């Protein structure tokens, strides 16, 4: 039928057919990107690697309050106050498709912790902190906004619930078998207010030693402790999330920023 058209008409028809083919290619490419993005987002929120062989469920630890209050006769004992403290845990995305995933901010509204300071010798100080994993709050909007940058976007309630379920599930922290994270000082060096502690961190049934630099101030019966702790998931038998052949991953390193406040225990 194109033979019946004049030359100008045939050229217009050819151009229209070319535009249509180009438009079809763009639509198919856009659809492919949308499908890939949806797949990656779904994988980020719902998929996890097979569970690694786990340790036996942890035994009950000694009562922390009883342990530290028994030291009050020979040391100044401070009870840490979660309501006056801030703990944030940062989990980072990785992989070629990282832009389809999310960085995460975890907050810790509940924990139990004590610090004992015999005399004025910083090296004699010791402390312990326990965090119930069920208390972890994932991607609270205020925490994400306060962190800013690539953490600032608000996530849907469904995405947050999926992330939290996977994080605490048997392929993640396995909170049903290992319900607490424990940090216990092994040695303290330096001098007030700049200290360096060596701590035993127990997580996922594994205990690993970590260094942490601390800034500690004491005034009017109160104690303030600030620092940053770097944990690597594989050190604790946790395989970082990876999906779609490694296109979407979670970095091994996790950052724990804390500013803790306590008062002399009565």
Residue 13: pLDDT over 50: no
Greater model confidence, 148 or 9: 148
> What value does the mean pLDDT take over residues 30-39?
43
> What value does the mean pLDDT take over residues 83-106?
94
Q: What is the pLDDT of residue 6?
A: 54
> What value does the mean pLDDT take over residues 113-125?
97
**Exposure pattern of 54-67 as b/e (b: 16+ CB <10 Å)?**
eeeebeeeeebeee
Which tens digits make up the pLDDT trace of 208-241? 999 999 999 999 999 999 999 999 999 999 999 8
Residue 71: pLDDT over 80: yes
Greater model confidence, 228 or 102: 228
Q: What is the pLDDT of residue 32?
A: 41
The per-residue pLDDT of the chain, averaged, comes to: 85
Greater model confidence, 29 or 130: 130
The answer to which of 45-49, 53-57, 79-83, 139-143 has the lowest mean pLDDT is 45-49
Q: What is the pLDDT of residue 21?
A: 55
Are 206 and 192 in contact by the 8 Å Cβ rule? The answer is: no
Which tens digits make up the pLDDT trace of 164-197? 998 999 989 999 999 999 999 999 999 999 999 9
Can the peptide bond before residue 193 be classed as cis, meaning omega within 30 degrees of 0? yes
Count CB-CB contacts under 10 A for residue 146. Answer: 13
CA dist 167 and 161 (Å) reads 10
Are 171 and 51 in contact by the 8 Å Cβ rule? The answer is: yes
Greater model confidence, 44 or 201: 201
Q: What is the pLDDT of residue 2?
A: 46
Of 173, 164, 165, 171, nearest to 51 by C-alpha is 171
Residue with tokens 């379920």: 165
Identify the sign of the CA torsion 215, 81, 125, 75: positive
What percent of the chain clears pLDDT 70, i.e. is strictly above it? 78
Are 242 and 98 in contact by the 8 Å Cβ rule? The answer is: no
Are 217 and 193 in contact by the 8 Å Cβ rule? The answer is: yes
Residue 265: pLDDT over 90: yes
| Strands in the chain per DSSP E | 76-80, 86-94, 104-107, 112-117, 126-132, 137-138, 180-191, 194-203, 206-219, 222-232, 242-243, 248-264
Q: Which residues pair with 89 in a beta bridge?
A: 106, 256
Residue 24: pLDDT over 80: no
Residue 255: pLDDT over 80: yes
Residue 135: pLDDT over 50: yes
Q: What is the pTM of this model?
A: 0.79
**Could you tell me which residues come within 8 angstroms of residue 111 by beta carbon, excluding any fewer than 6 positions away?**
80, 82, 85, 87, 129, 130, 131, 132, 135
């Amino acid at each position: 039928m194109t033979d019946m058209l004049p030359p100008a008409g045939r050229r217009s028809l050819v151009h229209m057919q070319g535009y249509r083919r180009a438009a079809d290619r763009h639509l198919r490419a856009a659809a492919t990107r949308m499908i890939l993005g949806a797949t990656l987002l779904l994988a980020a929120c719902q998929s996890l690697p097979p569970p690694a062989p786990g340790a036996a469920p942890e035994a009950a630890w000694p009562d922390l309050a009883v342990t530290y209050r028994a030291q009050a006769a020979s040391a100044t004992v401070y009870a840490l106050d979660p309501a006056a403290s801030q703990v944030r845990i940062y989990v980072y995305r990785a992989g070629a498709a990282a832009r389809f995933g999310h960085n995460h901010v975890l907050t810790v509204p509940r924990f139990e912790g004590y610090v004992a300071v015999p005399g004025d010798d910083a090296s004699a100080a010791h402390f312990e902190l326990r965090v119930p994993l069920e208390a972890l709050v994932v991607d609270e909007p205020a925490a994400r906004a306060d962190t800013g940058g690539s953490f600032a976007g608000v996530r849907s309630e469904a995405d947050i619930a999926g992330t939290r379920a996977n994080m605490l599930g048997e392929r993640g922290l396995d909170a049903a078998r290992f319900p607490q994270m424990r940090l216990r000082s092994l040695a303290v060096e330096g001098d007030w207010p700049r200290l360096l502690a060596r701590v035993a961190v127990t997580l996922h049934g594994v205990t690993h030693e970590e260094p942490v630099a601390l800034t500690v101030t004491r005034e009017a019966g109160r104690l303030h402790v600030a620092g940053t702790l770097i944990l690597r998931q594989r050190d604790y038998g946790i395989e970082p999330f990876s999906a779609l052949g490694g296109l979407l991953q979670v970095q091994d390193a996790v950052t724990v920023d804390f500013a803790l406040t306590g008062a002399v225990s009565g």
